[in-house]
Structure 1
Amino acid sequence: MTEQESSRYIDATAADWIARLDRGPLSQEEEQTLEAWLSGDPRRRGAMLRANALSALSESAEAPDPQPRAVPPAPPEPHMPPAISRRRMLAWTGAGGMAAASLAVLAITTRPAAAITTGLGEVRRVTLDDGSTIVLNTQSSLRVRYGDKVRRVELLYGEAYFTVVPDARRPFVVDLPGRPLRAARGAFRVRRIEGKPVDILVDQGGLSLGEAGTAGGVFMPAQTRLSLPGSVESPLPAPQAISTDHIARALAWRDGKIAFEGERLDEAAAEFARYSRTRIEIRDPVLAGEPVTGLFSASDPVGFSHAIARVFDAQLDQQGNAVILTRRARQP
């Protein structure tokens, strides 16, 4: 059996393909190789879209030609299909690949107070009119308010991953309760779940947290994480450095996965409840406290429960939309 590729390896391969597409159209042989690669693991198409977004972010930071010249494209040879280009490939990838990865691609023209919401188990990628992108996790909602002086987004609830394209005239602001988050460029995740502290993770670039020009603000560089205190009166804690593996686990939901590393079983069950109507019920307090580690499909709580039952020698019963886990009765 072939060993499954790691998400890091897939991302690196996707970045290499984007770089090759930037150098010019692919040959017929290269096109076939890329198509075969994309047709394999469903995570690869999502990785191509993320690599393209990061490449576009880098390109937009470069100084433009002060006197750009329009060059008309050469027509394709008669009766010959045009070679695959980066734009054509991304359109094709978005159509087939995002469906395979359970992501819906939605291009919107931002209007005042435009709202975007995802349902149970839905993950959606949104491209804003400035080229910035947002990936919304399940049961999330945000409101977009773009203006002439500021690009403003309010995360109402849920979880979102932002990739910000630089704009020297307009900062990108994510409104959080009493703690506006400002980014000039970069990629970061904000998680706002009821009953839990707002959690911010910076993947690339950097961002500032707090009102501009006031004391008490905090700058978060890449590969850091911070949880907001419950009261806006409380000082902000220092960002904590995190590893790339930690970031990959925290962002696994973009590929339809849930990653655990030592969380309690009842916490894992609550996380699965965000993605599915099937509920995992644990009717043993000792079993509920068992640690869980691994990468699981977010849409398969039943498969996860079967794995847990095998590992912890538990009894599994399914009653309608409930999967019930209990300890097996010990034999006398």
Structure 2
Amino acid sequence: MHGTVDTNPIDDQAAQWVAREDRGALAPDEVAERDRWLAADRRHFGAYARAHAVYARTGRARALGSADRVPHTRVQGPRPRLQWAMGLAATLCLLALGVHEHSDAGDYHVTHKGEILRVPLADGSAVTLDSGAAVRVHYTDARREITLLRGEALFDVAKNRARPFVVTARDTAVTAVGTSFSVSLNEQRTHGVEVLVREGIVDVATASGAVAPTRLLANHRALANRSHGIRIETVGHDDLDQQLAWREGMLSFNGDTLSVAAAQFLRYSDVRIMIDDPLVGSRRIVGLYSANDPLGFARSVALSLGLEVDQQGNDVWLRTPHNAFHSAPRSLQ
């Protein structure tokens, strides 16, 4: 018997709006009500755009709601066109349809640069893939197995004690029954595998079983790599939300160096932030920025750090004023 997932009420409300829109044009008072809901909280807009992406991906509104979840299936032929305007959701260009492939080894879900995708799974769970992420989903009667092949993903797990939900990333295995957690292979930030628990409890261990599982509670992070094993850290609620800001198409920095931030933006855009001065690259920043606007980010940090911006095609250079007209190009990658 399948369990049910503890869903995010904001995502559920967004799904209901998309389903209502698909049934027919909204009345003027409904449009006003929807727009008030969108304006009430920045998270509402992100959830609404994600819901549009999920509907377009599956071709069925019932894939959006918690009450009527269906397996994520490959749609044959042209996808149905929605009757409502897509302008609002299209402004979040980070949200896209991704790629789905099926083989005997499982279902593969992939996002390319600039894409974020929420995929409902057959058991009522869901996985949200960050830009440039890839997962393999393989379910058996005894286990629900996910392999994170690259990037970062958030897992909202339906409760089923008889059928563990196991995410493997390199030589790290994360086992959950019903919870919400993310797993990241983002080397630039984590230098290994990072597990971040938003709700519930997970066990973190080596995939081989050579090390006894480490219990990880909500608002905790595990950092696993071969040099130091599994290290546990406490994460504040606000910090946790910032870590998962990518779900809303945002990037959050809290004391990160400018070089690290520039590399993060490159995961979402072909516009490259270039730095040729190590002292500039080591400057630390704090803030929340739109992931698909590296130029806006560059201009903002230039203003706050006393730097100058020089855009040359897809390259955006950040330099101190006395170096602004002297170029010794060196890519961040």
Task: Using structure 1 for the length normalisation, give the TM-score.
Answer: 0.72
Q: RMSD over aligned Cα, in angstroms?
A: 3.7
Counterpart Cα distance in 1 of 2:240 and 2:263: 21
Which of residues 206, 217, 242 is equivalent to 1:249? Answer: 242
Give the structure 2 partner of residue 67 of structure 1: none
Which of residues 188, 197, 204 is equivalent to 1:202? Answer: 197
SS in 2 for 1:180: strand
1:145-224 pair list within 5 angstroms: 145-194=138-187, 196-210=191-205, 216-224=212-220
Query: Contact 1:208/1:220 (CA < 8 Å) preserved in 2?
Result: yes
Counterpart Cα distance in 2 of 1:131 and 1:106: 20
SS in 1 for 2:279: helix
Q: Judging changes above 3 Å, is the alpha-carbon distance between structure 1 residues 56 and 205 closer, same or farther for their aligned structure 2 residues? A: farther
1:241-280 pair list within 5 angstroms: 241-280=234-273
Cα-to-partner distance string for 1:36-86 (whole Å, 9 max, x where unaligned): 224436631444679xx9x949x99xxxxxxxxxxxxxxxxxxxxxxxxxx
Counterpart Cα distance in 1 of 2:297 and 2:109: 30
Cα-to-partner distance string for 1:143-201 (whole Å, 9 max, x where unaligned): 11111111101000100001001123311110122322111011001111246211110
SS in 2 for 1:185: coil
**Does 1:37 find its partner at 2:33?**
no
Deviation at 1:240, TM superposition (A): 1.5
Counterpart Cα distance in 2 of 1:107 and 1:321: 26
Which of residues 118, 126, 129 is equivalent to 1:133? Answer: 126
Counterpart Cα distance in 2 of 1:272 and 1:215: 35
Cα-to-partner distance string for 1:284-314 (whole Å, 9 max, x where unaligned): 2211111111000100001111112211221
Q: Unaligned 5+ residue runs, structure 2?
A: 1-6, 18-26, 52-62, 70-81, 324-333
Q: What amino acid is the match of 2:151?
A: G
SS in 1 for 2:230: coil
Counterpart Cα distance in 1 of 2:113 and 2:131: 5
Q: Unaligned 5+ residue runs, structure 1?
A: 1-10, 22-27, 61-90
Give the structure 1 partner of residue 57 of structure 2: none
Counterpart Cα distance in 2 of 1:13 and 1:113: 30
Query: Contact 2:198/2:240 (CA < 8 Å) preserved in 1?
Result: yes
Task: Using structure 2 for the length normalisation, give the TM-score.
Answer: 0.72
Q: What amino acid is the match of 1:145?
A: H
**Does 1:226 find its partner at 2:225?**
no
SS in 1 for 2:141: coil
The higher relative CO (CA closer than 8 Å, separation ≥ 6) is in 2
Q: Judging changes above 3 Å, is the alpha-carbon distance between structure 1 residues 193 and 311 closer, same or farther for their aligned structure 2 residues? A: same
